[in-house]
Amino acid sequence: MRNVAERAVEATAIAPLQRLEDGRISLLLRIVRFLRAMAHVVEGLATIVAIFPWIRKARRQAIVRHWSGRLLRIFAVETRVQGRHHQDRLRGMVLVANHVSWLDIFVLNAVQPARFIAKVELRRWPFIGWLIAGVGTLFIERSRRRHTQEVNRHVGEALAGGDVVAIFPEGRTSHGIDVQPFHGSLLQPVIDVAGHVQPVAIRYRLASGSPTIVPAYVEDVSFLGSVWRITAERAMVVELTFATAIPAAKQHRRALARASETAIRAALGLPNHGREPGTPGDREA
C-alpha cells in the first residue's frame, strides 16, 4: 500500500484536473447514454453467443473492432492515434499499455483487436465480464504463481496461432497522471517466440484538450458508478501513442518490462524513474 506522502503528492496533482471537468451534460442525456451503452452490451453478448461460433477469426475481429468503436461513440469518446503499430505478427506481438480505465480495453480493440489478460475477478462481473470472456480474454489469478505459468502457456499458444495479445503490466489502474512500475511476469511467452512488444501510451483528455481523470477506474468506485461518471462528459478524447516495437528475442522479461515502461513514459512526457518492476500501485486490474 502506498504511503501517506505518495497519496498527498497524487492528491495535489489530481486537484487541478478535477476542477477542469466542466463539460457536463443534462441528466436526461446521461440516462439516454447509459441505456444505449447497456443495450449495446446486450447486443454484443447476443452476437458472441449466436454468431461468433459460426464465423472465422478475421470476421470476429472485424466485429469486435466495429462494436468497440460504436461503444466509444456512445460515450462521445474520440480516438486519436499517433505512431504505427507493428505489422509483423508471424512471430507474435504483445501490446503493452498503461492502465487507466476499463474503457482501455475497448479503446485498444477499436484500433487493434487483441486477446487481453485480466484479473479473474472481472470474469464474474455481470455483462462486461461475460462480454470480455466471450471475445477470448485470458483471466489470471495474480495471487497464484502457478496460475501465472498456466496463463503464460495460453499466451504462447495464442501468439503461435497469430493472435495479438494485450497486457497492462502495471497490474492495476491509476488516475493516468503517472505510470506505475511495470511487471514482466507475463512477457516471457513473447520472448520465447522471439516476437515483438509494442508499447502503447493511453491518455484521456476533454474535447478542449485539457487532461481529465473522469475515465479513471480507481479507489472504491463501482463499475456502474464509473460508467455513470463517464456519461456526464459532453465529449472526451483518448490519445493512443504507439511507440517503436521492441524485439523480444533474447531479452530478459524485467529488461523488456523496463524498456516498455520507459517508452510509454516518454510518449506521455513523464520522467523516467528507472524503477524496478514490482512497486505497488493503485487498483488491481
Residue 84 pLDDT grade (very low, low, confident, very high; cuts 50, 70, 90): confident
Examine the pLDDT at 4 and tell me if it is beyond 50.
no
**CATH number for the domain including 137?**
3.40.1130
| Cell reading at 38 | 447497456
Q: 220 falls in which pLDDT band (50, 70, 90)? A: confident
Concatenating the DSSP letter of every residue in the chain gives ---HHHHHHHHHHHHHHHTT---B--HHHHHHHHHHHHHHHHHHHHHHHHTGGGS-HHHHHHHHHHHHHHHHHHTTEEEEEES------TT-EEEEE----THHHHHHHHHS--EEEEEGGGGGSTTHHHHHHHTTPEEE-TT-HHHHHHHHHHHHHHHHTT-EEEE-TTSEE--SSS-PPPP-TT-HHHHHTT-EEEEEEEEEEETTS-B--TT---TT--HHHHHHHHTTBS-EEEEEEEPPPEE-TT--HHHHHHHHHHHHHHHHT-----PPTT---SEE-
In this predicted structure, the answer to whether residue 59 has a pLDDT above a threshold of 80 is yes
C-alpha–C-alpha distance, residues 266 and 270, integer Å: 6
Reported pTM: 0.86
* Residue 218 banded pLDDT, cuts 50, 70, 90: confident
Does residue 82 carry a pLDDT above 70?
yes
| pLDDT value of residue 279 | 41
Taking residues 127-139, what's their average pLDDT?
Answer: 82
Which residue, among 142, 75, 87, 153, has the nearest Cα to 284 in the 3D structure?
142
pLDDT confidence of residue 160: 87
Tens digits of residue pLDDT in 171-180: 888 888 889 9
Q: Which of 87, 84, 95 is nearest to 190 (CA)?
A: 95
- Are 242 and 232 in contact, with CB atoms under 8 Å apart? no
Q: How many distinct structural domains can be found in the chain?
A: 1
Lowest mean pLDDT among 23-32, 135-144, 202-211, 227-236: 135-144
- Residue 59: which domain range? 4-284
Confidence of residue 87 (pLDDT cuts 50, 70, 90): low
Asked whether the predicted pLDDT for residue 18 surpasses 60, the reply is no
Q: What is the mean pLDDT of residues 63-80?
A: 97
